[in-house]
Homo-oligomer: A and B are copies of this chain.
């Protein structure tokens, strides 16, 4: 565990420095959007997605530094999605990670544009990488994966389902499809980009996809559980928001006990994949830590 924490710490340092360097510096004429971008990225985020990109690259024998721009890319895309998701026309959330959400701090227009700029910057960073010089075909493949899983067939499509089912009766299948698209999709992209940066095989890509898929679903169930059981100050956002918004969750559909069992099952599936990888210990610990997290 100590080793896990040290390694996570080292990854976070690497990722946070790279993110800060990749983001623009404030400039007199359009300060606000850059401030808003930095505000929403340079925070105490868990950085799960970029860590996965780096670690999948490492376990498959790749150079971690080559994966760093793609790690930054997936984190920027994650952050843009949170900004847009918090907007009044979406979930209308005032708090994010214990601070005012982006539009509360900077206004709606600036938040909208900061999200747009982060999504765009992600592709700029990923298309401007060392990997692109060494193996441009691999860099292109990574970008394609990222775009696919972030778009209408992935994360954005998941958001749309989320809106569409509001207040409606939902089948377990549709709830799962929604979370597969909304949450698992870009986690899968994060894992697969790591594999691509390491020059992994088709079989490795499949494992990355399975690990990401299961981790994403386990993560979402734990999120639903925390929304009901966590302490607001610890969680950094309002609890019981799902109940108040009458959201269908794994808990409302399956009950607490079965939901916890499902989270354990998805975790076990991901653990199995991690065990089949060379030196997959960190990936094993990571998902176990996520299962028992308190925020």
Q: A residues within 8 Å of B by Cβ?
A: 24, 29-30, 32-34, 37, 80, 84, 87, 89-90, 107-110, 112-113, 115-117, 119-121, 123-124, 127-128, 132, 136-137, 139-141, 143-144, 146-148, 150-153, 156-157, 159-161, 163-164, 174, 177
Contacts and interface: CB of A to CB of B under 8 A. Distances in A.
A188 to B, nearest CB: 15
A48 B163 CA distance: 34
Contact of A87 (B112, B127, B161): B112
Contact of A112 (B112, B161, B174): B112
A120 B136 contact: no
B152 A121 contact: yes
A163 B109 CA distance: 8
28 contacts: A29-B177, A32-B160, A32-B164, A80-B116, A84-B112, A84-B116, A89-B107, A89-B109, A89-B112, A90-B109, A90-B112, A110-B163, A113-B156, A113-B159, A115-B116, A119-B119, A119-B120, A120-B156, A121-B151, A123-B146, A127-B140, A127-B147, A136-B136, A136-B137, A136-B139, A139-B140, A140-B140, A143-B143
A124 B112 contact: no
Nearest to A146: B123
Contact of A123 (B123, B152, B164): B123
A135 to B, nearest CB: 8
A79 to B, nearest CB: 13
A160 B124 contact: no
Contacts of A146: 123
Given A123-B146, A127-B144, 14 more contacts: A24-B152, A30-B152, A32-B160, A33-B156, A84-B112, A112-B112, A116-B116, A116-B119, A117-B152, A120-B156, A123-B143, A123-B147, A124-B151, A136-B136
